[in-house]
Amino acid sequence: MNTEIEAIPAGAVIGILGGGQLGRMLATAASALGFRTHIFCPEADGPAAQVSDLETVAAYEDEAALTKFAQSIDVATYEFENIPLRTAEIVAALCPLRPGVRSLEMTQDRLIEKNFVRDAGATTANFADIVNVEDCAAALEQIGAPGILKTRRFGYDGKGQLEIKSCASAADVEKAFADLGRVPLILEQKISFVCEISAVIGRALDGRMAIFDMVRNVHQNGILYTSTVPANVDRVVIASAQDVTTKIAAALDHVGVLAVEFFVTEEQSVLVNEIAPRVHNSGHWTIDACDTDQFAQHIRALTGMLLGDPARHADAVMTNLIGDDVADAATLQEMADTNVHLYGKSETRPGRKMGHVTRVSPLSK
Amino acid sequence: MNTEIEAIPAGAVIGILGGGQLGRMLATAASALGFRTHIFCPEADGPAAQVSDLETVAAYEDEAALTKFAQSIDVATYEFENIPLRTAEIVAALCPLRPGVRSLEMTQDRLIEKNFVRDAGATTANFADIVNVEDCAAALEQIGAPGILKTRRFGYDGKGQLEIKSCASAADVEKAFADLGRVPLILEQKISFVCEISAVIGRALDGRMAIFDMVRNVHQNGILYTSTVPANVDRVVIASAQDVTTKIAAALDHVGVLAVEFFVTEEQSVLVNEIAPRVHNSGHWTIDACDTDQFAQHIRALTGMLLGDPARHADAVMTNLIGDDVADAATLQEMADTNVHLYGKSETRPGRKMGHVTRVSPLSK
């Protein structure tokens, strides 16, 4: 059906489910485009609410609060994929939710996501659904050891993951089950990769897409540490990753920004690791190095505008400030070609993303 | 006295006197650097409050509200120069006010400002203090006709100005006095200029300065219409204007961003037209074309950081969206290399600055 697209006018209110740093940077981008923002999240005084016009502090299960929220806004979006599906459905019934429920549904559960990715024509690591301890040994043999046992849901920043070696005993597997909380699991083949890259893409209401330059990512303790652009990988790798990313965005009928993380193998093939149906940490460099950054792009998409130009005017290295790293912020702020972005979190905790720093340098090509 | 400079830490609250678009963009810049903002202004729901954590709606004369505000913040600044001096003094007695009271004092009144500029070693148009109608005829003869009769205080965007021709009768002058509200006036010689340029400079707590590239400005109906960078004026003009700007910033002991508007004459001399002791409309292009923009620079200066790099990575033309111009925003947002910034003002009025648009192009040098 080819429906006429009606742009959401300046002055309208964008509701954001989730109140963390992604919501903060989305709210700021929205304000530059003349929109107001209304944050819905369970915790008061989060990073996003500090820079937003309106805030509702309520649980994602609070239907009355969600209804009031959805009725008071012009369009809704979400800043993370672990809000309950039911929450998204309640909001979507009352106002446009962009991206839609499907983008959440396909990416909240690793098993559903992996099957979706394969159906979309992309490659992933071998994987198997694991219901009980007995499944695991057979699966390990089938997909190839070592494997990584992951919770199907609510995993992020390396949480909910344990490596299972080929020599794992039933007792070891039993312990892993217990440690992961006896929730539904997936076993993934551990990939021996050359590097990790990610693609951040914007997709408009009319289906047109604009992709940012591919970045190379380095993780530490399961958490993204640096993103570097250009990624310095082979052209064929870039082309494959771009192709897969556009296929995934289209298959989700996604509206807004989406990120796809890839493993690049020795043989130059790209395996989809994870999809994030939202703005992504590996796209933060776009604030300092692109004409349109990922946050502005997301707002443009969900308000029905044409996408902005994702062209890059500088090389960039983004480094996360995790936990106590933030103590270096003042020093980093004094360095040349360096922009520090802090998230307004009052409490520093180990593993907590407190901010990021982007160092730019002249375009290398 | 060489006092140790103590930087204001992230998480601190920056109080902003004034709640318009300059406050809005300052608040956004402050949030990226990890600060909270508290807006003090007489009108509720203004552009700045929409993107700030805290807001006090009270008159600038409300000493109790000002005291409470000043006691609740870590540092204060102002987004426009027409707040009462007494307001600034009350705040400055309770917390650091940056820039200080002196920067306001020297720039609120055209007569004081002109004398200050001359004392600082710069050139202005000829001018005379006008107390009564009789003064005017003599002054016109003395400084050279035509002249512009301006209110000494509260003039902006061409308001509070009337041209007085050489053939003006006493009745004409009397009418001008009445039209301007019978307030203290200054008569300035009308300058026949080749172009208008402006300089935006940041000055840190330790006195170090960083100047943005000079821009060429075009006004319409007394309101800034476009700012273009590079300014395409002679090197000697740039050098003179930079020299004067640094002298003025130093003579004010200014902390933060300051703008100086100049007339450039046929003979390539630069005459100071006006000083704005704050971020300035002619510096808005820096958001889209500089490593550090004027808003971030102001926040850096007032929180005791080193200044950021004002280097420019693109050519730029900034156009104000005034009154009904804002109706074109949606169309402009679809254009390549174009960033539209809207201020969240719900009511469009003639002459009201509703937003601005910056078009960038590759560096011409």
User: Same domain for A271 and A311?
Assistant: yes
Inter-chain Cβ pairs, chain A and chain B, closer than 8 A: 105
Tell me the two tokens of residue B217: 């400005």
Taking 50 as the threshold, does the pLDDT of residue A1 lie above it? no
Tell me the two tokens of residue A243: 């192709």
Which residues of chain A lie closer than 8 angstroms to B341, CB-CB?
A: 32-34
pLDDT tens digits for B139-152? 888 888 889 989 99
- Residue A104 CA, chain-centre distance (Å), reads 11
Q: How far apart are CA B343 and CA A10, in angstroms?
A: 10
Contacts of A38 (CB under 8 A, 6+ apart): A13, A14, A15, A16, A52, A53, A54, A55, A56, A69, A72, A73
Q: How far apart are CA A40 and CA B209, in angstroms?
A: 42
The answer to the question of residue B346 being in a domain is yes
CATH code for position B51: 3.40.50.20
Q: Three-class SS of residue A78?
A: strand
pTM: 0.91
Residue A365: the pLDDT is 64
User: Same domain for B137 and B254?
Assistant: no
The answer to the question of residue B34 being in a domain is yes
Instruction: Tell me the residues of chain B between 44 and 63 that have a Cβ less than 8 Å away from chain A.
Output: 49-53
Q: Tell me if B32 and A344 make a contact (CB, 8 A cut-off).
A: no
Query: Across chain A, where does the E strand assignment appear?
Result: 13-17, 36-41, 54-57, 75-78, 127-130, 147-151, 161-164, 185-189, 193-203, 209-211, 215-220, 223-229, 256-265, 270-276, 315-322, 338-342, 353-361
User: Same domain for B234 and B354?
Assistant: yes
Say how many Å lie between the first and final Cα of chain A, rounded: 42
Quote the mean pLDDT of chain B.
Answer: 93
The b-or-e profile of B48-82 (16+ CB within 10 A means b, else e) is bbbbbbbbbbbebebeebbeebbeebbbbbbbbbe
User: Same domain for A152 and A169?
Assistant: yes
User: Same domain for B161 and B228?
Assistant: no
pLDDT tens digits for B153-201? 887 777 788 888 877 777 888 888 888 888 889 999 999 999 999 999 9
Which residues of chain B lie closer than 8 angstroms to A52, CB-CB?
A: 51
Taking 90 as the threshold, does the pLDDT of residue B204 lie above it? yes
Residue at which a domain ends, from A162, A189, A216: A189
User: Same domain for B207 and B325?
Assistant: yes
Q: Among candidates B195, B209, B200, B149, which has minimal Cα distance to B176?
A: B149
Categorize the per-residue pLDDT at A302 as very low, low, confident or very high, splitting at 50, 70 and 90: very high
The answer to the question of residue B106 being in a domain is no
Taking 50 as the threshold, does the pLDDT of residue B264 lie above it? yes
Tell me the two tokens of residue B46: 């203004």
Of residues A283 and B162, more confidently modeled: A283
pLDDT tens digits for B296-316? 999 999 999 999 999 999 999
Residue B166: the pLDDT is 75
pLDDT tens digits for A252-268? 999 999 999 999 999 99
Nearest CA in chain A to B55: A53
Residue B138: the pLDDT is 84
Q: The complex's ipTM? A: 0.85
Q: Among candidates A121, A113, A118, A285, which has minimal Cα distance to A186?
A: A113
Residue type, A153: R
pLDDT tens digits for A135-147? 888 888 888 888 9
pLDDT tens digits for A50-63? 999 999 999 999 99
Categorize the per-residue pLDDT at B91 as very low, low, confident or very high, splitting at 50, 70 and 90: very high
Among the residue ranges A212-216, B169-173, B323-327, the one predicted with the least confidence is B169-173
Residue at which a domain ends, from B49, B77, B97: B97
User: Same domain for A252 and A355?
Assistant: yes
Categorize the per-residue pLDDT at A4 as very low, low, confident or very high, splitting at 50, 70 and 90: low
User: Same domain for B207 and B182?
Assistant: no
* pLDDT over 90, % of chain A: 80
DSSP symbol at B49: G
Residue A142: the pLDDT is 86
Say how many Å lie between the first and final Cα of chain B, rounded: 42
Quote the mean pLDDT of chain A.
Answer: 93
What value does the mean pLDDT take over residues B46-58? 96
What value does the mean pLDDT take over residues A178-206? 92
Contacts of B358 (CB under 8 A, 6+ apart): B284, B285, B287, B288, B289, B316, B317, B318, B319, B338, B339, B341
CA distance B50 to chain A (A): 4
pLDDT tens digits for A8-51? 999 999 999 999 999 999 999 999 999 999 999 999 999 999 99
Nearest CA in chain B to A335: B308
Residue B4: the pLDDT is 60
CATH code for position A178: 3.30.1490.20
The answer to the question of residue A102 being in a domain is no
The answer to the question of residue A117 being in a domain is no
Query: Is the CB of A348 inside 8 Å of chain B's CB atoms?
Result: no
Residue A2: the pLDDT is 41
User: Same domain for A172 and A211?
Assistant: no
Beta-bridge partners for B226: B218, B319
Residue A171: the pLDDT is 81
Taking 90 as the threshold, does the pLDDT of residue B93 lie above it? yes
Report yes or no: B315 and B347 within 8 Å, Cβ to Cβ. Answer: no
User: Same domain for B224 and B280?
Assistant: yes
Residue type, B149: L
CATH code for position B248: 3.30.470.20
What value does the mean pLDDT take over residues A265-272? 96
Q: Tell me if A313 and B309 make a contact (CB, 8 A cut-off).
A: no
Among the residue ranges A175-179, A271-275, B288-292, B339-343, the one predicted with the least confidence is A175-179
User: Same domain for A90 and A150?
Assistant: no
The b-or-e profile of A41-77 (16+ CB within 10 A means b, else e) is beeeebbbbbbbbbbbbbebebeebbeebbeebbbbb
The count of structural domains within chain A is 3
What value does the mean pLDDT take over residues A135-163? 84
Q: Tell me if B34 and A10 make a contact (CB, 8 A cut-off).
A: no
Taking 70 as the threshold, does the pLDDT of residue B222 lie above it? yes
Residue at which a domain ends, from B147, B162, B189: B189
Beta-bridge partners for A150: A161, A186
Domain range for B323 is 193-361
The answer to the question of residue B75 being in a domain is yes
User: Same domain for A207 and A172?
Assistant: no
CA distance B25 to chain A (A): 8
The answer to the question of residue A106 being in a domain is no
CA atoms within 13 A on the CB side of A228: 12
What value does the mean pLDDT take over residues A308-315? 94
Interface test with B, best of A33, A206, A300, A307 (most B CBs within 10 A): A33
The answer to the question of residue A118 being in a domain is no
Instruction: Tell me the residues of chain A between 245 and 304 that have a Cβ less than 8 Å away from chain B.
Output: 288, 291-292, 300
